[in-house]
Structure 1
Amino acid sequence: MKSAPTAQDVAALANVSQSAVSRSFTPGASVSEKTRSKVLLAAKELGYRPNAIARSLSTNQSRIIALVMSYLENQFYPLVIENLSQELQKQGYHVLLFIGQTNNFDADSILMDILQYQVDGIIMASATLSPNLAQSCAASGVPVVLFNRVSSISQSSLVSTSSVTSDNYTGGILIAKVLAERGYKKIGFISGLENSSTSIQREDGLKDGLKQYGLDVQFRSVGQYDFNQAKVATRELFSSKDHPDAIFVANDHMAIATMDVIREELHLRIPEDVGVIGFDNIPQANWQSYQLTTISQDVDKMVRATVDVLIKQIHHEIQPEHIVIPSNFIERNTLRKPTEISA
């Protein structure tokens, strides 16, 4: 049986060193285009394919990033997976995806699975970071970046943990301003998970913003970032004759469920009877049947910042950073327009 060609065979045919062969197949490595072309041509002629596993053993880098997140019912996160995967591939890394089955997924349950792959870094989106996980990753020298979350764990436990989020608090303040200036008085809020930093910050911004107008949140229910639970939460807000004239729903995924209940079960009009505003700006928010007014999270900027800070930490170029990306108001058709406010 003919043995597989080796890097030494490629080096001999291309008349270069073995290290030049290795650099030619290593993304971002320093090698001239002339040398790379000679190596790739020789490799093609010999039928050589580099062994990524062997390379990771010699360099002590797997070039694998673990991406940990909860289930993908919320359409914001499939966009995140796609963009993160593409951005990491540009940098020569590959994604190993771990998906939990609940919105409140605890990554500790798969900690050993993650670390046994010798990943170079971890990105956690919509998953819980515990002190145990933070300390284990720090001890292993594996940097962690929280995507769209911040942790309540003390900084002493977050030796290697960074975070990238939207400006959720300011987004909440902006929503309060829009609702107040458009004449809404009886404001309702449907939260996500009660321990989620995104939901907490958005609600805090809403409350603080409303105070500036002498208003407060009069109606509140919990949607848990779940479509069906958001329907239950909406029914709770309208269970008595006194109900909201506007609802801020902590994300678009739940806001669509809220709109379905208001229109199909309660037979109320949006925005004439009830205003609705969400957060995320998922593609479905722009569907003709919804046209949801919302706050947009800039996924592209968030992803680029996440990959940048993670790779810099892998190479020990920076200390952990906590980056906040501005969010933007997207006007559609689920709130009164300023011109529709009666004098």
Structure 2
Amino acid sequence: MDKKKVTALDVAKLAGVSQPTVSRVFSSGMNVKESKRERVLAAAKQLGYQPNALARGLTTRKTKMIGIVMREVQNPFYPEVLEKLYEQLSEKGYHIIFISSINNQIQEKEIRQLIEYSVEGVIITDALLSSNAAERFVQNDIKVVLFNRYIQGENYNAVFCDNYSAGYQIGRYLLNKGHRKVAFISGPLDTSTTIDRKNGFEKAFHEIGIVDYYFELGNYSYDGGFQATFRLLDQYNDIDAIFCGNDITAFGAIDAARGKGLLIPDDISIIGFDDVKMSQWVNYSLTTWKQPIVEMVKNTIEILLNQINEGIDAPQVKTLKGELIERNTVLNRNNSSNYF
């Protein structure tokens, strides 16, 4: 026979208090005499009572739950981000409702699920926020922060790396290493992340009069990078460097180039973006642009909790700098480097 679950009423009977008193002890702790509080805690310990956080939240209107919407869980960058979000939110006493979105845009059932769980805020990483979704969140007083992207012309909270500056500096870096026949493998063209990295990269080459470069869509995936590199190498035999929109694309590009019999970086240089843990693996040892994940996560949570707890309504946008991490996938073709 299953053991009966201990309820707040059981604790109240053992402690000789009312059920609302038990609820107050485990919610705010206010307006409860110390003697009663001690009896309630002793009874709860004796009975093994564990309060229901969700039910308590519905009473106090503070569920301490944050929704995280993430689409590209195959991209190692985002599991690393999720780990940091979990760590920092847990330290502050918050719980996570994780939604792995299967579409580019947040779907109605996902919005409904977050609302049903009475989340206080939502962090959206690589899924697109529609105007309808934004309106639903506002109607239900759910605060939202976009992570690693922003929406041009819209006033949403956002925290992201300065992708334009990073793309520009990557372009400068390759130029200073003597590369002139370069290719760019991008992610989806409708995101601020791709647009800014692409525009910054182009600017570096336009400044010295190079207006054309090779381009392929890679969709921020290993297979996308692999197939895009095959297409590039099949069409052009003079490419000396490839800038990949993120690291997992770069891993695909490296394996594709090796499959073509090319040596990295002797025959072709490859540079990524993110600096995920796999970038350090000996098999890749990828030169890449490091996104400041810890700082990005910290700022995201700070903005979200300030809006939840301090009543701050004005949209906040935080742009953070990253840094170049040099490893072994970019060759110095002119035997001198004046970068930085």
TM-score computed with the length of structure 1 as normaliser: 0.86
**What letter corresponds to residue 116 of structure 2 in structure 1?**
Q
Match status 1:83 vs 2:84: yes
In the alignment, structure 2 segments of 5+ residues that lack a partner are none
**What letter corresponds to residue 46 of structure 2 in structure 1?**
E
* Match runs of 1:15-94 below 5 Å: 21-23=25-27, 40-94=41-95
Counterpart position of 2:210:
215
Counterpart position of 1:274:
268
**What letter corresponds to residue 182 of structure 1 in structure 2?**
K
1:276 Cα deviation from its structure 2 partner: 0.6
Pick closer, same or farther for the CA change 1:112–1:315 going to 2, 3 Å.
same
Match status 1:305 vs 2:309: no
* Match runs of 1:101-120 below 5 Å: 101=102, 104-108=104-108, 110-120=110-120
Quote the Cα distance in structure 2 between the aligned partners of 1:71 and 1:207: 26
Pick closer, same or farther for the CA change 1:288–1:3 going to 2, 3 Å.
closer
Quote the Cα distance in structure 1 between the aligned partners of 2:209 and 2:14: 75
Quote the Cα distance in structure 2 between the aligned partners of 1:335 and 1:269: 11
Counterpart position of 1:232:
227
**Pick from 256, 259, 262: which aligns with 1:261?**
256
Answer whether contact 1:108 1:132 (CA < 8 A) is retained. Answer: no
Counterpart position of 2:125:
125
1:19 Cα deviation from its structure 2 partner: 7.5
Pick closer, same or farther for the CA change 1:201–1:8 going to 2, 3 Å.
same
**What letter corresponds to residue 313 of structure 1 in structure 2?**
Q
Match status 1:151 vs 2:181: no
Greater mean alpha carbon deviation, residues 276-285 or residues 114-123: 114-123
What is the percent sequence identity of the aligned residues?
35
Answer whether contact 2:178 2:334 (CA < 8 A) is retained. Answer: no
Match status 1:199 vs 2:161: no
Q: Provide Cα deviations, 1:98-134, integer angstroms capped at 9, x if missing partner.
A: 11235x3444452222222211111101001111111
**What letter corresponds to residue 137 of structure 1 in structure 2?**
F
Partner SS, residue 235 of structure 2: coil
Pick closer, same or farther for the CA change 1:4–1:100 going to 2, 3 Å.
closer
Partner SS, residue 213 of structure 2: strand
Q: How many residues align?
A: 328
Quote the Cα distance in structure 2 between the aligned partners of 1:211 and 1:2: 69
1:300 Cα deviation from its structure 2 partner: 0.9
**What letter corresponds to residue 43 of structure 1 in structure 2?**
A
Answer whether contact 1:5 1:47 (CA < 8 A) is retained. Answer: no
Quote the Cα distance in structure 2 between the aligned partners of 1:283 and 1:213: 34
Quote the Cα distance in structure 1 between the aligned partners of 2:269 and 2:229: 13
1:60 Cα deviation from its structure 2 partner: 1.2
1:37 Cα deviation from its structure 2 partner: 8.5
1:213 Cα deviation from its structure 2 partner: 2.8
Quote the Cα distance in structure 1 between the aligned partners of 2:297 and 2:89: 9
Answer whether contact 2:8 2:22 (CA < 8 A) is retained. Answer: no
Answer whether contact 2:68 2:99 (CA < 8 A) is retained. Answer: yes
Partner SS, residue 238 of structure 1: helix
Q: Provide Cα deviations, 1:204-250, integer angstroms capped at 9, x if missing partner.
A: 11111222233344100000112212222111211234442111000
**Pick from 162, 169, 191: which aligns with 1:167?**
162
Answer whether contact 1:107 1:128 (CA < 8 A) is retained. Answer: no
Pick closer, same or farther for the CA change 1:292–1:130 going to 2, 3 Å.
same
In the alignment, structure 1 segments of 5+ residues that lack a partner are none
